[in-house]
Amino acid sequence: MSQPIVIDKFGGSVLRRPEDIAAAVEVVVEQRRAGLQPVVVVSAFEGVTDTILSAATVLLPDGGLSLREPRQAADSPLARETDRALATGEALSAALFALGLQARGIPARSFSGAEAGIRTAAAHLGAEVRRVYSRPLRLALAGDLVPVVAGFQGIGSHGELTTLGRGGTDLSAVVLAVALRADRCELFKDTGGVMEADPHLVPAARFLPAVDALQLELLAELGSEVVHPVAVRRARRGKLRLVVRALDAAQPMTEVRPNLWRSGRDAGPMMLAVDRKERIARISLVGPAERMPEILPLPASGEGSFDEGGLRVVWAEVPIAQAARAAQGVHAALMAPASVEADEGT
């Protein structure tokens, strides 16, 4: 029986500097001891991508290119060179991580996104992943190597290096996990598991041991930056087991499951996202439809709701200066333990 494959994605919030690689390497060492076959996918070190974009901004006459803008044309020379510059951040992390594994006596090899088989559309700064050829990584695993893949990048149908957009390393990890039929994909974050809301805005937010995959996907589309929305969608459609956790195994972790809300009233928590644009913040509450309010308890300039897959999204817009207070108010009124207990007692 073949050993289970696990994909480990280490983001920039975990890899703040080269010294942080040592702690991440120990996770891989323990997985090997447990009889697993790890495949590592890494982001650039914290701040490196922004530094590269800032350098491009200085050089380009139009102020640079944004990872949040729509995809750039395949024949854009500015976007092509920006992609090639951006990809160096992940390439550096991958090579250093492979060195760290080798220093611990574990055979490892770094791969670019193209070498790992990630094929994308012919576009830059946000290319869509079209296909993954898993053979290169399967051969590495068969040779007892730990592949270390540079995330956030692939190769387009035009033969050029492409990048996947902001947060694209999550997507790299998920598409590789689906292609390799991995047992699970673990996304390592500095905050550990998924919380009810952004703790920077809502200090009382709690960790959730399990989250519905569609719920997390909707939350990401509505402004939460915990996991890339397309990565969650690909994981959900590929029936991939997704785990969000910290390097420290003692910290809370979250398993992302499909159709969790159907398994019972208590299994489907409400979650809060805040999307801030210019002067307006949109506060969105996502949860099982039967538990959700008609409107949020906020003095809003605009509000609405919609249903999808048994879940309901209720949103309200407030001035951006009031975002934190509004989010805390919604949490206290609808999501705090006292509110849940009162609701269950009715």
Contact 249, 260 (CB under 8 A): no
What per-residue confidence (pLDDT) applies to 345? 47
* Cβ atoms of residues 294 and 314 within 8 Å: yes
The values of phi and psi at residue 49, to 5°, are -60, -45
Could you read off the pLDDT of 2-24 as tens digits, one per residue?
Answer: 899 999 999 999 999 888 999 99
* Tens digit of each residue's pLDDT (9 = 90 or more) over 208-219: 999 999 999 999
With cut-offs at 50, 70 and 90, classify the pLDDT of residue 119. Answer: very high
Quick one: pLDDT band at residue 1, thresholds 50, 70, 90?
low
In this structure, is the dihedral angle defined by the CA atoms of residues 91, 95, 100 and 106, taken in order, positive or negative?
A: positive
Q: Is the pLDDT of residue 263 over 80?
A: no
Residues whose CB is less than 8 angstroms from the CB of residue 281 and which lie 6 or more positions away in sequence, other chains included: 274, 275, 317, 318, 319, 320, 322, 323, 326
- Chain segment 239-258, per-residue pLDDT in tens: 999 999 999 988 999 999 88
Range name among 57-61, 110-114, 118-122, 123-127 with the lowest pLDDT average: 57-61
Please give the backbone phi and psi of residue 148, each rounded to the nearest 5 degrees, phi first: -120, 110
pLDDT of residue 343: 47
Q: What is the mean pLDDT of residues 303-310?
A: 88
Q: pLDDT tens for residues 141-167?
A: 999 999 999 999 999 998 999 999 988
**Distance separating the N- and C-terminal Cα atoms of the chain:** 52
Question: Which pTM does this prediction carry?
Answer: 0.91
pLDDT value at position 221?
92
pLDDT score of 344: 46
Question: What are the chain's domains?
Answer: 5-188 (3.40.1160.10), 268-344 (no CATH)
Average pLDDT of 199-222? 92
In sequence order, the 6+-apart residues with CB closer than 8 A to the CB of 145 are: 107, 108, 109
Torsion 192-267-173-217 (CA) sign: negative
More confident residue, 82 or 63: 82
Top pLDDT among 141 and 337 is at: 141
CA torsion through residues 337, 340, 344, 346, sign: positive
Ramachandran region, residue 261 (left: φ > 0; alpha: ψ -120 to 50; beta: rest): alpha
Query: Distances in Å between the alpha carbon of 1 and those of 33, 35, 36, 207?
Result: 17, 11, 12, 36
Residue 334 contacts by C-beta under 8 Å, 6 or more apart in sequence? 270, 285, 293, 296, 297
Assess whether pLDDT exceeds 50 at residue 168: yes
Q: Which residues touch 327 (CB under 8 Å, ≥6 apart)?
A: 197, 198, 201, 202, 272, 274, 283
CB 184 within 8 A of CB 258: no
Tell me the backbone φ, ψ of residue 163, rounded to 5 degrees: -120, 160
Q: Are 42 and 93 in contact (CB under 8 A)?
A: yes
pLDDT at 226 over 90: no
Give the whole-angstrom CA distance, residue 327 versus residue 224.
13
Query: What stretches of the chain adopt beta strand conformation (E)?
Result: 5-10, 37-42, 108-111, 118-120, 129-132, 146-150, 153-156, 161-163, 184-188, 210-212, 242-245, 254-257, 271-277, 280-288, 302-308, 311-319
Average pLDDT over residues 100-110: 98
Q: Which of 9-13, 58-62, 108-112, 259-263 has the highest mean pLDDT?
A: 108-112
What is the pLDDT at residue 346?
42
Could you report the per-residue pLDDT of 87-97, keeping only the tens digit for each? 999 999 999 99
Percent of the chain having pLDDT more than 70?
A: 90
- Mean of pLDDT values over 321-329: 93
CB 167 within 8 A of CB 69: no
Mean pLDDT of the chain: 89
